[in-house]
Amino acid sequence: MNFEKFHYGSREVVVFVDEAGDRELRDPGNPVFVLGGCACWGRDIEHSIRQPWLDVRAAITGSREKPIHMRELSRRFGRRHVATMQKFFLNGDFRRVGFGVTDRTVFDVGGFPKAPVLEIALEQFLASIAELMSSDEPAEAISVVFEDGPLLPLIRKQWPNRALTRQQDGVGIPISWATLDKDAGEPALEVADYIAHSLAGYLRAERSRDSKFAERHDAIFAANPAIGKSLELNEARLVEADNA
């Protein structure tokens, strides 16, 4: 289902998503699962996300063409890098969402064989995007773009079960799903990667204000709650639906 889409509708919401951590929450060194992403109107991608991020690339790697991947950069992520990222997020007007689940979460799943970590994360992530994009200008469609990776086959299985409804009038919004290869060089997927890894680190540190991830988290999410939402699941309970 890989595709290339160069143009989006003016009133189409475009979301770029990345994940971090272990969806089974069994890795003692990284006991979290996070979806992180950024979103904006289709007409705004270039000036709100892509072009500003190319300036970030140039400042950090020395080239607007060299991609930034946090798995590779994290050990060399110094104060200069932090300051560059802070400026990008504090000046940006695009939406950003992070949803995390940790091994501290209490699951009551009845007879289910496993905790539905991925399913819950994807549902809540999309709902948060819809809430942040709510405005006087109603969305007509949404495109959700993932980077291709080992988790994608499991994520793809969830796509038919996901739907979004406009908050203004209850109208259903059509969702298009897409994947891009890592070597596609999409700047917005690098932004999503940074968001996911920053929230994962913050949750691993149990949201400690002394954590090195605290200022990264705040610049992404807390500086302007109208455009940023950071959520953590602490309890999930499976209940029987009332069919009356």
Q: Is residue 29 part of a domain?
A: yes
For the chain, what is the radius of gyration of the CA atoms? 18
Q: Is residue 47 part of a domain?
A: yes
Alpha helices in 110-173 (DSSP H): 117-132, 152-158
Q: Is residue 33 part of a domain?
A: yes
Q: Is residue 25 part of a domain?
A: yes
Q: How does pLDDT run across 120-163, given as a tens digit for each residue?
A: 899 999 989 988 887 778 888 899 999 888 888 999 998 988 88
**Contact residues for 96 (Cβ-Cβ < 8 A; gap 6+):** 36, 37, 38, 39, 89, 191, 195, 220, 221, 227, 228, 229
Indicate the residue type of 3: F
Q: How far apart are CA 230 and CA 195, in angstroms?
A: 10
Closest CA to 163 of 215, 123, 221, 204: 123
Q: How far apart are CA 48 and CA 41, in angstroms?
A: 9
Q: What Å distances lie between residue 84 and 31, 191, 201, 217, CA to CA?
A: 28, 13, 19, 14
Q: Which tokens sit at 211?
A: 């954590």
Q: Which tokens sit at 161?
A: 């079960």
Of all helices (H) and strands (E), which one includes residue 20? strand 12-21
Q: Is residue 155 part of a domain?
A: yes
Q: Is residue 174 part of a domain?
A: yes
Q: Read off the CATH number of the domain in which 189 is found.
A: 3.30.420
Closest CA to 94 of 147, 36, 140: 36
Residue-by-residue pLDDT tens, the chain, 244 positions: 344 566 788 889 999 999 999 888 888 888 899 999 999 999 999 999 999 999 999 999 899 999 888 777 766 777 888 899 999 999 999 999 999 998 888 887 666 667 788 988 999 999 899 888 877 788 888 999 998 888 889 999 989 888 888 877 888 888 889 998 878 889 999 999 999 999 999 999 999 999 989 999 999 999 899 999 999 998 877 665 555 4
Q: Which tokens sit at 166?
A: 């406009």
- Other Cβ atoms less than 10 A from the Cβ of 16: the count is 28
- As a residue count, the chain comes to 244
Number of independent structural domains in the chain: 1
Q: Note down the domain range covering 96.
A: 12-237
Q: Which tokens sit at 169?
A: 């009038």
